[in-house]
Amino acid sequence: MVAQEQSVSTAGVGEGGESGVAAVVVLAAGQGTRMRSATPKVLHSFGGRSMLGHVLAATAPLDAGSTVVVVGSGRAAVEEHLTQVAPDALPVVQDQQRGSGHAAAVALAAIPDVQGPVLLVNGDAPLLRVETVTALVDAHRAAGNVLTVLTAEVQDPTGLGRIVRDAGGAVRAIVEERDATAEQRAVHEINAGVYIGDAAALRRALAGLGQDNDQGEQYLTDVLARLVAEGAPVGGVPAAEADDVLGCNDQRELAARRRTLNDRVLDDLMRAGVTVVDPMTTWVDVTASVAADAVLQPGTQILGSTSVGPGATVGPDTTLVDTTVDAGASVVRSHCLGAEIGPDASVGPFSYLRPGTRLSRGSKVGAFVETKNAEVGEDSKVPHLSYVGDATIGRGANIGAATVFVNYDGVAKHRTTIGDHVRIGSDSMLVAPVTVGDGAYTAAGSVITTDVPPGAMAIARARQRNVAGWVGRRRSGTPAAEAAAAAQSSAAAAGEGRSEASGTDTEQ
């Protein structure tokens, strides 16, 4: 299941927007066998987006004329995902995974009329940032290159392709580690797998690629070598942060990328004035927003399209999904999904707010309360141990403990309306559809099945009747019977004592 995501517009104009990029090609056809998962690799998600979604978000500001996503393994799932997150993108099928060069050729064949700069990027580079992509495009244009590759300086380049430069610093080749000399393996500048190149030059170079390697595949790295051999201007631009270019090939790397992205998000929030008490246990999606002066306590997750207002406190141990928390509100040890929590409202501990819940200013949903499709009016309270479903509660009302809004008759849902300043007694059952008028009361333990007029007291319970001696007769020999007998004996003895004391007083 893919996490909630915001749609990314990939629609461009003409030959590209201000960036001048004619097309973006995302290579997302790989099987990702090392993930050991039925989910296609690029659909593994964290931080509010899939890996593919993160890449598309990084390239969307280029306003390219076309965005092509090469799909293959898990094609149906990836295409369906694209309709949700990037409906303007064009999926192109690579039936046989024959390498990155072959994937790029398939993509360019699908947009034969595109001319000018084309950005090629892997779909499993979720930490790629807009700033990094923009810097690559700008450097490419400024240098007048035919092809420019994004590079990175890393501490441990093991297993990665090395960037080989000449004495003047010009890029001459990309050499895979298995083919590198000892001198080349000592190089720490690696190929990031992101390229921008002229569409015509790319088509020409891709058409001439061979498959003379152990895997029998065509590689984009060989495009650079062919263009260098032609004498075409080729360049390399280092990323400002090496983390930007990290790929993701297995579950361990997925966890590491998740941590890196979250650290970035929290760092930005703290710089903007948000208090994050424990960054190690706090998780915030890139699709969420948190205002300055908000406080995120330990164990907090802010997910999806959640927004947290200024001065609000969330946590500890709280998860918010697609939820709005307005200024000054407090949510403690609770789970909220698709809820709206108004200014200065309070939630928790141990509350469950389900979709359609709307809490007005100053309202309260307390311990062990579940709500669904419910409106709670200004300054109204549902303090504890209750279920409020399909309901409208007015201003200043109080819902007693263990109240249940009985909204489902087994076939359809029905609504309960509670007026202003109503007092619902503890352990009440409100059987919908029913209305309790303004200022009315219900007695504790009542089952309310008909409307209660404004200002009335509704009592819907049987009169209590005590059957004396029942336990002794029907449960003889039990601890309860023994306790009752002892209490009765004690009471009788106390009565005799009072009588004797009374007689003594009379004699005196």
Q: And the tokens for 278?
A: 């424990």
Query: Which residue, 414, 436, 458, sits at the end of a domain?
Result: 458
Domain boundary among 245, 260, 291: 245
Contacts of 374 (CB under 8 A, 6+ apart): 356, 357, 358, 388, 389, 390, 391, 392, 393, 405
| 410 DSSP assignment | S
Residue 402 pLDDT class (50, 70, 90 cuts): very high
Give me the mean pLDDT over the 349-366 stretch: 98
- At 466 the pLDDT is 95
Copy the structure tokens of residue 48: 């509010």
Residue of 409, 403, 447 lying closest to 424 (CA atoms): 403
The reply to whether 5 falls in a domain is no
- 52 CB-side CA count, 13 A: 33
Q: Which of 418, 436, 458 is the last residue of a domain?
A: 458
Where are the alpha helices (H) located in 160-238, listed in sequence order?
182-185, 199-207, 221-230
> Considering the domain boundaries, does residue 34 fall inside one?
yes
> Does residue 80 sit within a domain?
yes
Whether 311 shows a pLDDT value over 80: the answer reads yes
Q: Which tens digit of pLDDT belongs to each residue from 200-213?
A: 999 999 988 765 54
Query: Which residues are known to be catalytic?
Result: 384
* CATH (domain of 152): 3.90.550.10
Give CB contacts under 8 A, 24+ apart, made by 402-405.
402/426, 402/427, 403/427, 403/428, 403/429, 403/430, 404/428, 404/429, 404/430, 405/374, 405/430, 405/432
In this structure, the answer to whether residues 293 and 238 fall within a common structural domain is no
d(CA 247, CA 30): 13
Q: How many domains does the chain contain in total?
A: 2
pTM, two decimal places: 0.89
Q: Evaluate if residue 17 carries a pLDDT over 70.
A: no
Domain that holds residue 395: 251-458
What pLDDT does 12 receive?
A: 43
Does residue 406 share a domain with residue 366? yes
135 and 240 inside one domain: yes
Which residues, listed in sequence order, are joined to residue 304 by a DSSP beta bridge?
none
Computed over every residue of the chain, the mean pLDDT equals 92
